[in-house]
Structure 1
Amino acid sequence: MVIQAGVINGDVTINVAPDPLAAHPVPLMATVTLAGAGRHSEHSDLPNGVYTPWSISVLVEGRSAQAVILHRMRVLVVDRRRVSFLPDRGDSGMYPSVLASREFTLNLNAEEPSLYARNGQPDFPFTVHASDPELFEINPGVYEHEVDWRLALDWSCAGRHGTITLPENGMLRYGPERAYTIPE
């Protein structure tokens, strides 16, 4: 290859793909969705009868082929209030996912809630990149409280590290028989 130029002002790049990580301060993206409802049984990691108003799905994808290490996911409780009623709770089932998921249990009644891998599944760390996402299914349990909360996902990639908060612009509100997101 021959390149002939008179005067060059600035950088010159030849046959080099742009670095997709340089364009984004965070090398991953995450999507949060709510689905399903049901009551925990004696085979659950939560006490029998603790109600799971909804499950939360967190899909984490890398922005490039560079692996991103997901070190841990933490629960950030914003507010907790006792409810004055305990409604009758029915079962409505869960929606299955096409992508194999990592299942975690979360007891929001605990003073300091933590995520626990279910059914002997692996726990953090995990890795993601553009062609290998991870889907986390989190089954929060709550009975006597209404809880406003978020998730914090700690990551590192190519010498950088950080934390993303989910959902990005708001929080989740869980209580007996209801679950929804609250925008900021």
Structure 2
Amino acid sequence: MPFRAGSDLEDGETVSAQDDVDDVAEFAALLRTLKERTDRSYGSLARRLAMNTSTLHRYCAGEAVPLDFAPVERFAALCGASPEERLELHRRWLLAVAARRQPRTASPAGAAQEASAAAEADETEHAPNGVDGPSEVPAEEPPLPRHPWYRRRRVAVGLAAACAVLAALGSLAALPDGRRTPAGDRAGAAGPAPSGTPESEAQDRRGASPGPSGSSPAPRRSTPSATPKQPKPSPSPSTRTTPPTGGSAPAPPLTWSADSQAWKLGCGHDYVIAKPPGQVPPPPAPQDAGVWAASQNAVHGGETLVRLTVQGRTDTAVVLEALRVRVVGRTAPAQGNAYAMDRGCGGSITPRSFDVNLDKDRPIARAVAGNDTGTPIPAVRMPYRVSARDPEVLLVNARTQGCDCRWYLELDWSSQGRTGTVRIDDKGRPFRTSGIKGLPRHVYETSARAWVPYS
């Protein structure tokens, strides 16, 4: 933004606001250019940026300028801006923020009039009664300052409140130990009272020990350097004033649950079991798959579908930043037989999911779009926002052909300046998926009520 020196201003001239308007307009124009590259609406973009739709629209219209560059950076990344465009966007944002913070310059004539009026008002307020101007007072006896009435009243009210507090503390301190209230305990725990006050005398009386003959204790002489004993706190838990030590870290602002026994389209799945077909019971219903697999020591064959449900603890938005895959073990595929839960099933709806190839050295969770009777279902692309009223269900499909892999997921989140990572696993253990290539495969024949080779 061009800067005009003060020597160029004449006759109360101020810097024109046209330059400021141009800076804000150029920043908003670049935001609209990036937005038009995508096929998303303002509402879709705002949801992924964790902001209101109206706020994003005001930024792009030049009606407002964000005070923080973080949402602008996320907006540029979501719109696929190049490094050069991000640099130019940052430069225009700096100019736009400076333009919105530019103060309005008052004319010299108006400033002089305001200063003159303030000086006259100050002289009138400090002038004695019946005199129009400041009175002449001898130097050796300066006049006492006259405060406004509301200041005098504030001082009086403060003194009255202080006296009331001191009286209450003195009466509470004089109570016996058995009748002391929590408020009295807190007052005693705050520190010793000054010597000479009723509270300090009561503490001296409580701190003295009786003589052997049971007579009243001898009075203690308080000196400026002596510190009276503090009363013992009440043993009741309700009177505790200090927090417990060793507090744990705050819980993350989101909750999650994972179901690793999901079947493809609700009916198709393979398990590897180290038993002959005659010892394996019939396939279970999908809702009983977990119990059935645990009883047979079954391992997911070929793929594992994890249905992940994420939800915020409150209405505050939590942004899901990234979903990562961690493989913690690779061995040869498990030996046994592969048992198919069905001969095959199909459906008109293919849900959107994250596809993971565990055979890669560094597998990643790749977002895959779904399909609803020919209508594409957009993929769940990070970042994504959840809350207590807006949960999200993510389907992760991890597959392998050549290993017995043990793995888990990591979900990065951010909310209100906090960031963190939660581990998604199978009830404290890694997920397990084994390849079935080359293994005998069987399917259950309902008419014969037996497992038969898969054809």
Q: TM-score range by the shorter chain?
A: 0.5 to 0.7
User: Where do 5+ consecutive residues of structure 2 fail to align?
Assistant: 1-164, 169-182, 188-248, 271-300, 370-377, 437-455
1:52 CA drift (Å): 4.2
1:33 aligns with 2:259: yes
Residues 44-92 of structure 1, C-alpha deviation per residue, up to 9 Å, x if partnerless? xxxxxxx743311110010000000000010011111122759557464
Q: 2:428 aligns with which of 158, 163, 169?
A: 169
Residues 102-148 of structure 1, C-alpha deviation per residue, up to 9 Å, x if partnerless? 51111111111101111251411111100101100011111110111
Distance 2:334 2:259 in 1: 28
Distance 2:335 2:429 in 1: 26
**One-letter amino acid of the counterpart of residue 155, structure 1:** W
Q: Does the 8 A contact of 1:86 with 1:144 survive in 2?
A: no
Q: Does the 8 A contact of 1:33 with 1:57 survive in 2?
A: yes
Q: As a proportion of its length, which structure holds more strand?
A: 1
1:158 aligns with 2:416: yes
Secondary structure, counterpart of 1:170 in structure 2: coil
Q: 1:141 aligns with which of 399, 407, 413?
A: 399
Residues 14-54 of structure 1, C-alpha deviation per residue, up to 9 Å, x if partnerless? xxxxxxxxx95200011010211449xxxxxxxxxxx7433
1:164 CA drift (Å): 0.3
1:54 aligns with 2:304: yes
User: Where do 5+ consecutive residues of structure 1 fail to align?
Assistant: 1-5, 11-22, 40-50, 178-184
Secondary structure, counterpart of 2:401 in structure 1: coil
TM-score computed with the length of structure 1 as normaliser? 0.67
**One-letter amino acid of the counterpart of residue 255, structure 2:** M
Distance change >3 Å, CA 136–CA 102, structure 1 → 2: farther
Larger RCO, structures 1/2 (Cα 8 Å, 6+ apart): 1
Root mean square deviation, CA, Å: 3.3
Distance 1:144 1:105 in 2: 17
**One-letter amino acid of the counterpart of residue 333, structure 2:** V
Alignment map for 1:1-184 (pairs within 5 Å): 24-34=250-260, 35-36=262-263, 37-38=268-269, 52-83=302-333, 90=340, 92=342, 102-119=352-369, 120-167=378-425, 169-176=428-435
Q: Does the 8 A contact of 1:148 with 1:174 survive in 2?
A: yes
1:170 CA drift (Å): 1.9
Distance 1:157 1:102 in 2: 25
1:42 alignment counterpart: none
Distance change >3 Å, CA 116–CA 89, structure 1 → 2: farther
- Which structure has the larger Rg? 2
Q: As a proportion of its length, which structure holds more helix?
A: 2
Q: Does the 8 A contact of 1:52 with 1:139 survive in 2?
A: no
Q: Does the 8 A contact of 1:28 with 1:61 survive in 2?
A: yes
**One-letter amino acid of the counterpart of residue 429, structure 2:** G
TM-score computed with the length of structure 2 as normaliser? 0.29
**One-letter amino acid of the counterpart of residue 165, structure 1:** R
Distance 1:62 1:154 in 2: 13
Distance change >3 Å, CA 112–CA 65, structure 1 → 2: same
